[in-house]
Every structure is written in C-alpha cells, then in structure tokens.
Structure 1
C-alpha cells in the first residue's frame, strides 16, 4: 500500500519539478529591454472601428470572426519573437505554450479564427500581408508603425 502511495507522490514531485524551471527562469530573466513596450493592434482597413480591450481579447482567442459584418484575418509573428510572447502575455496573460495549446484545441474542434503566421517579423512583411488581405488585422510595437495604418487598439503593459 505504501509503495503505491510513494510512487504517486514521487511522480507528482517529478511533475512539479519538471514544470518549475521554466517558470523560475522566466521570473528571474532580465526583461528590462521588453518592459514598457506598447503594442498596437492595427489594420489597413479604415472601415474597422476602434476596439475595446475585451473585443481584442475575443479576437485573439479566436471567438470573434467578424467586424462590421466583414470576416477578419489575423496575422501572427513567428514563434521565436519576443514581441509575440510579450503581446500574448500582456493581452491574455498566457505564455506562448499556453496559446499554442489553446489554439490546437480550437483547430481540432474546427472552431475559432486562427491567425496566419508570417515568414518573418519585419513590419514591411506585415504591411505587405495586410495589403494582400484587406480585412487583415495585425499587431506590432507602436514605435514600428507607419503613420498610415488604422490603429484599432493600443495595448499598454499593466502596472
């Protein structure tokens, strides 16, 4: 009886230990370079209105597929992007691995609006994609945006 209980305790302990290092490392990493980065959710479609934070959250969770009766398309940055990780952490409070798991379940169920991942994180590539997708929505740091885009929402880190 104690052998089975000890094995369960041991397995749970291993699981906790295996999950701990990423959380500890992320808590101790120097993020001063990424602190204070403000993101903008934007489009080249001027018919899209300014959006609330809750609406943007629903869009990036895949729960909203239309704005003003127009189907929307999302573009996403590559997996290795610090901006992508910071954006989802700030907007949804989720890590990239949590977002990938969430989106995998959406894809499996056939529900949700999943973003298209672009080939690189350059603002010119994002703008080219938006030109080819008139109902496209993207995000980027505010400092990287040209003046002619339609800013739908500004995401600022919460203090």
Structure 2
C-alpha cells in the first residue's frame, strides 16, 4: 500500500509539472492585449479583424486556456458555440491539431492570435499575454 501511494504521488507530480502554463501568442508584429480583449476574441465578441485559432477539442492546453481565460469548461464552450451557430450570431474559431501547427498558423498572419503551453514558445511567435 505504501509503495502504491508513493507511485501515485510521483505520477501526480509529473502530471502537474508537464505543463508550464498557457500563454496567448501572436505574430511577432503583434502588440500586447488585455485579458478582457483576449476573452472577447475567443468568444467571438472582440475585434473582428483578428484571426483566432484554437487547439482541437480534447486537448488539455485548450481546457486549461478556457478555464483560465474565458471561464468556460469544455462542455460550456461547446454549448456556447452551438447556440451561436444555431442563432446565426457567430462561428467558432478555426482549430489546429498541435502547438507546432498553432505556431505556424499564428506566425504566418500578423492578425492571428492563439494559445499554447509556455514550454512550446520559440522565436517564431510573440507572447502577448500570460494569464
């Protein structure tokens, strides 16, 4: 029993340290944004000139981002976008499959924003907000 508890404790420690935290990224030419502006953008209520990218559903970074920034769970987010689409008020952001794809999409468009784990940051994109 003691051995099992030690293994579980170590496993949880690894799970929590694997993620450095979510950061919002933009093209290197992008300026900083407030948390309120980012929330609006990812809920389709912000600056219409922004191109917003999301990670695919089921991605843990996506869940962490929305929990922290928009205050919505995966289920709430899905319900929100279903209602927006049904009522004709908006469509969800385009999705990408990975942090690498997110960086490529954001780096190629000066009007694009997205989010990735802070551990995935490199020189191709600029951190515009750390929530």
Task: Return closer, same or farther for 1:90/1:37 CA change in 2, 3 Å cut-off.
Answer: farther
Task: Return closer, same or farther for 1:113/1:31 CA change in 2, 3 Å cut-off.
Answer: farther
**Please, which of 57, 76, 92 is the counterpart of residue 98 of structure 1?**
76
Structure 1 residue ranges without an equivalent (≥5): 1-29
Q: What secondary structure, in the 3-state scheme, does the structure 1 residue paired with 2:86 have?
A: helix
Structure 1 residue 44 corresponds to structure 2 residue 27: yes
TM normalised by structure 2 equals 0.77
TM normalised by structure 1 equals 0.65
- Residue 3 of structure 2 is matched in structure 1 by none
**Which stretches of structure 1, 4 residues or more, deviate above 4 A after TM superposition?**
none
Aligned 8 A contact 1:75 1:116 in 2: yes
Q: What secondary structure, in the 3-state scheme, does the structure 2 residue paired with 1:114 have?
A: coil
**Please, which of 58, 66, 77 is the counterpart of residue 88 of structure 1?**
66
Q: What secondary structure, in the 3-state scheme, does the structure 2 residue paired with 1:146 have?
A: coil
- 1:71-117 alpha-carbon deviations (Å, 9 max, x no partner): 11111111121111111111122111100110111222232462101
- Residue 64 of structure 1 is matched in structure 2 by 46
**Shift of residue 128, structure 1, vs aligned partner:** 2.2
Once the two structures are overlaid, the 10-residue window that deviates more, 126-135 or 87-96, is: 126-135
Aligned 8 A contact 1:73 1:137 in 2: yes
- Residue 110 of structure 1 is matched in structure 2 by 88
Structure 1 residue 138 corresponds to structure 2 residue 121: no
**Shift of residue 141, structure 1, vs aligned partner:** 1.0
Distance in 2 (CA, whole Å) between partners of 1:52 and 1:85 is 20
Cα RMSD between the aligned structures? 2.3
Distance in 2 (CA, whole Å) between partners of 1:79 and 1:31 is 23
